[in-house]
Structure 1
């Protein structure tokens, strides 16, 4: 009797499913509360339902239903069995079913993929039948004999013996596992397939967009495709043999753009019969490799080396003694070349150079420039000097008109001097007086000391054949002075300009641009009016609208009417301030300007343009 009383308070061990539901709080009270909330019950009913005891016969343990057993049966695990389902249990929501299914699978994983059978517990199939969404892996795979984790198996692809782990990938179609190598190969294939699908989707989208916008899609040339392929396999380019100098130049530019030009790849472009060589990024080419240029290409006539920070004095001296036919020399960033070496180099080559370009170095001094002009000045046809911080003297460029030949220069660039007083109106006018008649291109970017004087007394007086004009950041050039200069420029230069860059010329406005377009509208190909905030919306709208439209006719009549009324009713105003104030309120009329050859217009940061910073091509 004592034994019976002792066991009356003992509860048998719970199954994993029951323990999981208890931990998640899924009890009879939980289901009853959900049922009441679903039926719209109030809080009082819910609290009463929570405080009420659970309904009887919902779950019964074996020690309550079956007779007592002997002590030998105490070690036998007792599972909770479920009685026949009630209508309320049949209406359980999908959330509880899914959680029951997860608990089943978790229990199965703990037992190594198989469910232990207990004679005192009910069969798993009876529980699975209660869940319509449950399906075992064995049923899905046709009752295949799958091995457990930790056992040895063979790869379904290569047949390699592997030990199964939780990370082993199972292929349902082949009913087997993959080894790590085959799994990685399959992952790469899937990744590539997804990428191909994404690229194809993007291509279809671009094609559809082009059809909607009625635009044409330009396919790349076969030559360009081959060049890109060669670039990606540049180390094997020797196997192709002769691919042409023009294509080699394109490949060199692509390599420079991708920062792939180095000591190994640069030797692929060197040959004894080479006449012209251009390397646009030599940052990864050392000094010894630069000497190979003169050793392998002694017949060079044109050499361009940009970003050549590793060019030393020894290299320049080696070029002077071995490149006897060099006529064009362009360097960007040779900051290791000393001023003494520059003088020695020009003394060695004498009058050998016809074109010289130098940028971004602080060791090219006034003495170096003097040596250049004394030895090569008479034969120079192109001289470009930019960002040379060593030329700091005020009269540093005064020797240029004295040492160059008359009307020999065709391209002149003096840009971004270190000081404002280095390049003045008088200095530039003297240079243009000496070579302006033959000048085709003029670049004075960053020469902030220049004013309207160099335009009126220099460019518009001597540069009769000028085609390219660049004058960035000349903030002292005024709107009235520029307009006056180009109104007079049409008398000596009827051909017109092809390229004009007026970026950040802050004082230039409508009148200046109108005079420029009236002079060069029929020849202008590229125009930059970036950051010219004084250009108005009325000006741009008028020059792009034809004169025969109703808007332009009404505008013209309105302007003429206002002009007549002002001349009749308003007295003559005196003083410059009053005239400027009146000019601001006057409505101007601008004729339509046709730009048949214009292909590039930079109107970025122009307030009158709606799309700020945009480029139209």
Structure 2
């Protein structure tokens, strides 16, 4: 009985996995063939052993000692069974190899017939080969197949020219044949050009994306811009150029900050003894020791702006207070390492007495006592106060001290945005502040103070802020549409000049009437406007205010409204032109589509940038005038 029992699933003992792999891959087992030949030679050598002399037998035993020892009568039947089994496995592997080659030949023929318009051959022939009585096991059948070998002649599937197959000949799977060398070179050139075009298109998309981020057009840069770009790329060797001007240095500083390239080595390039104003917009890679160089190299500094200054320590602020005696303007963003006690000491020093502009953002260590110390020592001199995202101030009473310490009619810029708790800032507090310094206020930012209602607009802004030009009230969702309309109707009598910048993002209670009153008041002066996420603004309203009254559509609409005497649901809005508007944010206003975009572009001749993020009906098919950049369309490929 054989040592390995065969089963239907092909599992035959410890070597079954390897044997199954060899059978499926069509690989001939050379080791088994060699062992079969050795067994045959042994059998041929054993036959003359019985008829020869003992001397011959001795020589055979010396030549093949292992065979004479192992050739016992009990082992002979087992060896024969193994040889028969090996023969079966070899036959199966040969059969698998021929089946694999036959399938490859049939697939090539099917592709040729389908390309020539012929019918697809039947697959049943290959499946029934195993049952064919004429199916041969000889290896010569493999050689009879129409398979080309290296060194033979073949016809090119592209041009039909005969050529000699070589190792470098290229096989085309789609055409089931080889290419000659000239056709192969042409194909390589086409592929190389395709890759180059792909790289060029990728670089172009990258330039377009960078221009969109910078809100500029893709155009030929100025020579000055090219020089500044080269300087920023080789900023560490900029000393060899000598003096390049303070204006250009400021531009280079902004570019380095944007690219996160401002570090301990490059910061010294922008410091000089006669410097009075210094702005670094990204100090994340500048350590504490390098920040001390600002006070060491610029003793005449009067205005200092440091954003993302997470490495600014208590020692740095103390060093600034000691070595910058003329510092009167300080703007810091992210100084979270400076303690509450250090802030109090800084304001109590001489610097706090001359400080007239102070801005601080994104720190939890500027607490209640810090704000009280600021108001007590610098409040009467402040002309600009900006407090944003200060989680350390958690008392509404501390904010309530602001109107008691600021001087009357002196504050020009006020920002109280994103407090730790929305209940800290209420309408009465803002009205109290505006009653003291509203007549000189030109910029008011109350973003994120979501506890405010239209009351501070009606009783505060409309009554006291006659010179206001910048208004930002984003995320104030409690302001109603009717209250905003009432406020701006009254504000038209107080502020005749108009507003320059208005940001109403996510004031979800505002609708058509509110925006209409705003535009009637400030349409001739508006430069930037944001109505992001105002879902109550309708397409009918936008179409009317950006369409001239002489248009046929507007005339028919006016006649319809007059016939209904205002009793119907249709409302008529006059045409509003925005001659100075350069930036318009209509993102997530679902009523904006391609038609509205075209009307906006025609009504705003100076408009440069319009943002349409979230407006899925704005596509690349919109007809937009030249010079208007649309940012945020889903169809734009970047």
What TM-score results when the alignment is normalised by the length of structure 1?
A: 0.68
Tell me the residue number matched to 1:242.
243
1:372 is paired with a residue of what secondary structure? helix
Call closer, same or farther: CA 1:423–1:300 in 2, change over 3 Å: same
* Structure 2 counterpart of 1:437, from 436, 439, 446: 439
- Aligned equivalents of 1:602 and 1:47: distance in 2? 71
* Structure 2 CA distance for partners of 1:136 and 1:460, relative to 1, 3 Å: same
Counterparts in 2 of 1:459 and 1:52: CA distance versus 1, 3 Å: same
| 2:589 aligned with 1:606 | yes
Deviations 1:191-219 (A, max 9, x none): 99965883279769999xxxxxxx99632
Alignment of 1:143-154 (within 5 A): none
Matches for 1:200-211 after TM superposition, within 5 Å? none
Q: 1:135 aligns with which of 164, 167, 175?
A: 164
1:383 aligned counterpart, secondary structure: strand
Offset, 1:335: 1.1
Q: Which string of whole-angstrom CA distances, capped at 9 and with x for unpartnered residues, describes residues 284-314 of structure 1?
A: 2111111111111111111111111111111
Cα contact 2:98–2:142 (8 A) shared by 1 = no
Say whether the 8 Å CA contact 1:270–1:293 is kept in structure 2. Answer: yes
CA distance, structure 1, for counterparts of residue 559 and residue 139 of structure 2: 103
Q: How does 1:131-280 map to 2 (within 5 A)?
A: 133-135=162-164, 198-199=199-200, 218-280=219-281
Q: Deviations over 1:474-505 (max 9, x none)?
A: 11111111101111111111100010001111
In 2, the alpha carbon distance for the partners of 1:419 and 1:235 equals: 46
CA distance in structure 2 between the partners assigned to 1:512 and 1:53 by the alignment: 92
Residue 473 of structure 1: how far off its partner (Å): 0.9
Cα separation, 1, equivalents of 2:204 and 2:135: 64
**What SS does structure 2 have at the residue aligned with 1:395?**
helix
Taking a change above 3 Å as real, the CA distance of residues 138 and 600 of structure 1, as seen in their structure-2 partners, is closer
State the distance in 1 between where 2:550 and 2:359 align. Answer: 50
- Cα RMSD (Å): 4.3
Q: Which residue of 2 aligns with 1:493?
A: 495
Q: Secondary structure at the match of 1:305?
A: strand
Residue 286 of structure 1 pairs with residue 287 of structure 2: yes
1:325 aligns with 2:314: no
User: Structure 2 vs 1, CA of residues 45 and 205 (structure 1 numbering), >3 Å: closer, same or farther?
Assistant: closer
Structure-2 residue corresponding to 1:350: 352
2:411 aligns with one of 399, 409, 412: 409
Q: TM-score, normalised by structure 2?
A: 0.66
User: How many residues get paired?
Assistant: 476
Indicate how the Cα distance of structure 1 residues 375 and 548 shifts in structure 2: closer, same or farther if over 3 A, else same.
same
Q: 1:133 to 1:594 in 2, by over 3 A?
A: same
CA contact (8 A) 1:410 1:439 kept: yes
Query: Which string of whole-angstrom CA distances, capped at 9 and with x for unpartnered residues, describes residues 259-306 of structure 1?
Result: 222222222222222222111111221111111111111111111111
* Counterpart position of 1:581: none
Unaligned runs of 5+ in 2: 1-40, 45-93, 170-180, 183-190, 209-215, 594-611, 616-628, 632-638
Query: What is the distance in 2 between the residues matched to 1:405 and 1:384?
Result: 16
| Distance change in 2, residues 1:467/1:22 (3 Å) | same
Q: 1:377 aligns with which of 376, 379, 383?
A: 379
Q: Deviations over 1:41-65 (max 9, x none)?
A: 997999699836489xxx998xxxx
Deviation at 1:352, TM superposition (A): 1.5
**Structure 1 stretches of 5 or more lacking a match?**
7-17, 62-79, 83-88, 90-95, 106-124, 141-171, 174-189, 208-214, 567-584
Q: Compute the displacement of 1:19 (Å).
A: 11
Distance in structure 1 (CA, Å) of the matches to 2:420 and 2:272: 40
1:192–1:339 CA distance, 2 compared to 1 (3 A) = farther
Q: C-alpha distance in 2, partners of 1:501/1:444? A: 10
Helix, strand or coil: the match of 2:359? strand
Given that 1:603 and 1:613 are in contact with CA atoms closer than 8 Å, whether structure 2 keeps it comes out as no
User: C-alpha distance in 2, partners of 1:360/1:260?
Assistant: 22
Matches within 5 A, 1:574-585: none
Does the CA-based 8 Å contact 1:428-1:454 persist in structure 2?
Answer: yes
Q: Cα distance, 1:547 vs. partner? A: 0.8
Cα 1:548–1:317 change in 2 (3 A) is same
Task: Name the CA distance, whole Å, in 2 between partners of 1:465 and 1:42.
Answer: 88
1:586 is matched with 569
Q: Secondary structure at the match of 1:356?
A: strand
**Does structure 2 retain, via aligned residues, the 8 Å contact 1:601–1:616?**
no
Farther-moved stretch of structure 1 (555-564 vs 527-536) = 555-564
Q: Is the contact made by 2:102 and 2:126 (CA closer than 8 Å) also made in structure 1? A: no
